[in-house]
Chain A
Amino acid sequence: MIWKLILLALTTAVFSVVNAQVKTFPFAYTQQDLPNGLRLVTIPTDSPNLVSIYIVVQTGSRNEVEAGKSGFAHLFEHMMFRGTAKYPPEKYNQILQRAGAASNAFTSDDLTAFYTTFSKEDLPEILAMEADRFQTLKYTLENFKTETGAVLGEYNKNSSDPEEKLDEVMHDTAFDRHTYKHTTMGFLKDVQDMPNQYDYSIKFFDRYYRPEYTTIVVAGDVDPKTVRALVDKDWGNWKRGSYHPDIPVEPAQQGPRESTIDWPSPTLPLVEIAFHGPAYSDSDKDWAALDALATLAFSRNSDLYEQLVVREQKVDRLVADMPQSVDPNLFEVEARVKKAEDVSYVREQILETIKKFQDDLVPSEKLSAVKSRERYGFTMQLDNSQSVAAAVARYIALRRTPDTIDKLYALYSRLTPEDVRAAARKYLTENNRTIVTLTGPAAGGGK
């Protein structure tokens, strides 16, 4: 499964610490490193009986440095379900079934995560079984080729959605060298060539499925000592690797770029405007400032939303996002326009809005409302063990510790209107900009 950051400010889940003494992440947790480099984070919660495990590997489409290999981290997520000598896929699935487990995996730019939620009595068996596949995965050429068919099937089920195409073309246009140039799904030609890449897949496993890239997050009805003992027993002998990818640095963009997409079937036009932004940071304010700006300028209570969606009704969706990424990524604004003739107007209004944020200071009460929203948004998502583990997993990909959550939110609480304006001036410039427009035959009506 491909995991794409939804373009909603809320999902970035940052909030201010109203009282500096209050921990933003409300759970006490333990963080331990095994001698082989594997990290274990255990988070006891008060939800009875259930346990959720997230195994996070710090590799994603960002790590796909070789040409023709886009989509490989995601393919490898699939291959991890192809079994070992001790637990062939049928047995693996049967054990998960007996545990009544909900289990899945996802890949994004920066991580691959495998998660399972189940009753606590099955913890020893599931941890042992997971340890086995991370250390002794073995699949045949035939199984490899079969699984590439499932990956192509995933491409196919996504392919009727123009948003996927927009994302693909935006990254391909805006980036020249960095691996964020391709999506996690990969280019279609690379996906179609996957059946021929068996040997590379073995190399990929050897490089990245190593303890120093891996963190196990266990949340729920658990005792950290018991979990540590189980992890020592099953994961302690896993051998450390030595590979360090050489991820190309993206050179500064030298001028505005544009692309257009002709979509084959009826749809509403989409306009996306993006700028090269900063990487995630819990110490430098730029990322947090642009995250706040995305909400202030383009969310449902923004002036532009009120104008384009509520009053003029020219747009039926307006969203913006500054993704949390290991390396510098794109600040993106996207609008779905009801009539093709309004596309250039909408585009101008978005650019005008950005200019306003470069010229003027945002009222501090508006910034406070954003801080409040993020605080409640974050708290409200932590309502079960699976969500707690999931929330931590995304920060593991960035800094490999939940500590970064408190640091980020403390930083966020110190944001000022000046910080927001400074970030707008620094990043949202014409030279740094890419615009992609997608249009298809009229969807009809267009009222």
Chain B
Amino acid sequence: MKLGVAGITGIMGALLAANGSAQMRTVTLPSKSPLVNVRLVFTTGAMMDPADKPGLAHLTAAMLAGGGTKDLTYKQVVDAMFPMAASLNNQTDQEMTVFSGTTHVDNLAAYYKLVRSMLLDPGWREDDFKRIKDDTINSLRVGLRGNNDEELGKEVLYATLYRGTAYGHYSLGTISAIEKMTLDDLKLFYKQHYTQSNLILGLAGGYPADFLEQLKKDFAALPAKDATPVPAIKPEAIDHTRALIVEKNTRSVAYSLGFPIDVKRGDPDYPALLLMQSYLGPHRMSGGRLFQRIREIRGINYGDYAYIEYFPRGMFAMEPAPNLARRSQIFQIWIRPVEPPAAAFTLRLAFFELNNLVQNGIPPEDFNRTKEFLTKYVNVLTKTKNAELGYAIDSLYYGIPDYNSYIKNGIAKLTVEQVNAAIRKHLRADRIQIVAVSANAEQLKKQLEGSGPTPIEYNSAKPAEILAEDKVVEKLDLGLRPADIQIVPVAAVFE
């Protein structure tokens, strides 16, 4: 692939650690496609939210992408984009805020004119602000707390693990903080953080030769000041396995569990842990170990997955979205909703599998197959130009070569011993944060405490080997004392 990176030198990693050089950076992937992908990434996000204003970075980005400009009302923007089937999407995570869109090259000039005005000359209208505030509050209250138990569990896990750090709140913020925010808060955030030094301009597809220069010239209108130092992210050590049960009226029990790891893209053990992730299984990989043992053999739920990087909205996507880069990541297991009678057993089974992995490592034959898988699957991750561009921007951020070569080269050299050593070094089967979303929280709490057996009942005969394993699993001590299990009503979460 042709990866053009301007303004970057060999000391890029060091510069990025200080949140960028003084100039905007660019990533370009020109091709003959009739489409043009635009990704404008600001290396700022929820980590920069003031302590009393969680959600400010998100609200600012949502206002830029979902409001009018100085000259055009929101309705006029929508009408102008409508015949092009184009839009400007925004995504705010802890470290990155991205504005992205795709247009046919026929419409590039008109589309870009709109995007430029939206990002450089925002309208900051009160009526747009009120609508976007409502949308954000409803996303929290209804979209997340009301309708999506799995995503809720995942976000509560992150917020709990990073409590006390700049990652300690969900990027959408809290309802009470959003209600109090004013347009002046947003304008100030925009002024402070939408700077040239925070900007990565990303372009892919069949754009004209002079288009990049035009973008650079236009976005030079942003402040050229030095980047604000980024806060250190040092999650608290977990001294004991603990559980948080979010209580709500729901049919089944959803779990997310994990702990922070000291490995991110570019670190020596990243390829080894990514291979481990492929072995346990990321979303929809039916060959994954967790999927096989929990769903395929036992028929307990719809699927079970593991991750070493942030993967929001997983239930709506086969592959993770790019531009969610973070300096600190967690290892997590995602257990899809389980019928309540099987809930305690399933959590014990996940711990059993994790313990097995840490103690025994990946068997050599599975290692070889997973290695082959990952070497080829990385092409699927970047199968669209838009994804390739997103990954290239992340690679710039992490200071690594293009992702496909980075993974292929990193994996080629790996031995099973190295991977298993990395597993022993970074993973563990104790000192885990568990989050459950469930009705009847007290009942679940009792089942999770101590080692009283919580057997499972199947609707069909199972092989003797599985039944014998179940006898061990049902009594597995999660290490949870009564004081380690907290219950919180759903109405209090992200309130």
Contacts and interface: CB of A to CB of B under 8 A. Distances in A.
Interface of A: 10, 47, 49-50, 81, 89-90, 93-94, 96-104, 117-119, 141-150, 152-154, 156-157, 159-163, 195, 264-268, 299-301, 306, 309-311, 313, 316, 338, 368-369, 372-377, 379-380, 383-387, 440, 443-445, 447
A101 B383 CA distance: 12
Contact of A156 (B248, B337, B458): B337
B476 interface: no
Contacts of A313: 127, 130-131, 134
Closest 3 A/B residue pairs (Cβ): A100-B376, A149-B299, A145-B460
Nearest to A372: B83
Contacts of A97: 285, 287, 369-370, 372-373
A265 B379 contact: no
The DSSP consensus for interface residues of chain A is helix
Interface stretch (B114-122, B147-155, B417-425): B147-155
A104 B461 CA distance: 27
A37 B299 CA distance: 35
Contacts of A300: 78, 82
A267 B142 contact: yes
B336 A301 contact: no
A99 B301 CA distance: 26
Given A149-B459, A268-B138, A373 B82 contact: yes
A380 B205 CA distance: 12
Contact of A98 (B33, B175, B298, B372): B372
Nearest to A104: B284
6 contacts: A97-B285, A97-B369, A102-B380, A119-B376, A156-B302, A159-B337
Given A313-B134, A445-B141, A142 B461 contact: yes
A141 B460 contact: yes
A380 B85 contact: yes
Contacts of B284: 102, 104
Interface stretch (B187-195, B208-216, B225-233, B249-257): B249-257
Interface string B19-42: 000000000000001110000000
A98 B369 contact: yes
A100 B135 contact: no
A159 B252 contact: yes
B318 interface: yes
Contacts, number: 224
A373 B458 CA distance: 52
Contacts of A118: 376, 380
B75 A306 contact: yes
Interface string B277-289: 0000000111100
Given A100-B373, A142-B460, A309 B131 contact: yes
B377 A102 contact: yes
Contacts of A50: 379-380, 383
B75 to A, nearest CB: 5
Given A97-B369, A376-B85, A153 B104 contact: no
Contacts of A311: 127
B297 A146 contact: yes
B148 A153 contact: no
B299 A145 contact: yes
A54 B420 CA distance: 37
A94 B363 CA distance: 14
A94 B175 CA distance: 46
Interface in B359-398: 369-370, 372-380, 383-386
Contacts of A144: 460
A394 B141 CA distance: 35
Contact of B138 (A142, A373, A443): A443
Contacts of B112: none
Given A160-B250, A384-B384, 20 more contacts: A97-B373, A100-B373, A100-B374, A104-B284, A149-B298, A150-B302, A156-B301, A157-B150, A163-B147, A264-B249, A316-B131, A338-B138, A373-B83, A380-B35, A383-B35, A383-B102, A385-B383, A443-B141, A445-B137, A447-B134
Interface centre among B141, B142, B338, B386 (most CB of A within 10 A): B142
A100 B377 contact: yes
A309 B459 CA distance: 48
Contacts of B85: 10, 372-377, 380
Contacts of B295: 150, 153
Given A100-B375, A153-B295, A383-B384, A148 B146 contact: no
B63 to A, nearest CB: 14
Nearest to B463: A142
Contact of A117 (B135, B375, B383, B491): B383
A113 to B, nearest CB: 14
A310 B384 contact: no
Interface in B245-274: 248-252, 254
A324 to B, nearest CB: 18
A444 B83 CA distance: 38
A161 B252 contact: no
Nearest to A188: B251
A161 B460 contact: no
Contacts of A119: 376, 379
Contacts of B74: 310
A341 to B, nearest CB: 16
B137 A380 contact: no
A252 B339 CA distance: 41
B281 to A, nearest CB: 10
A150 B460 contact: no
Contacts of A376: 83-86, 104, 106-107
Contact of A369 (B83, B300, B491): B83
B79 interface: yes
A379 B34 contact: yes
B462 interface: yes
Contacts of B336: 153, 157
Interface string B63-101: 000000000001100110011111000000000000000
A7 to B, nearest CB: 15
B18 interface: no
B131 to A, nearest CB: 5
Contacts of B301: 149-150, 153, 156-157
B320 to A, nearest CB: 13
Contact of B142 (A104, A368, A387, A443): A443
A387 B336 CA distance: 27
A89 B78 CA distance: 49
B107 A94 contact: no
B353 interface: no
A391 B20 CA distance: 41
A205 B146 CA distance: 38
B298 to A, nearest CB: 7
Contact of A443 (B75, B146, B376): B146
B477 interface: no
Given A153-B301, A310-B75, A373-B84, A145 B459 contact: yes
A119 B376 CA distance: 7
B376 A156 contact: no
B263 to A, nearest CB: 23
Interface centre among B34, B379, B380 (most CB of A within 10 A): B380
Interface centre among A103, A104, A147, A153 (most CB of B within 10 A): A153
Contacts of B137: 445, 447
Contact of A157 (B84, B297, B337): B337
B104 A379 contact: yes
A161 B150 CA distance: 11
Contacts of B134: 313, 316, 338, 447
A153 B376 contact: no
B449 interface: no
Given A157-B302, A316-B135, A372-B83, A99 B376 contact: yes
A102 B251 contact: no
A93 B286 contact: yes
Contacts of B82: 299-301, 369, 373
A384 to B, nearest CB: 5
B315 interface: yes
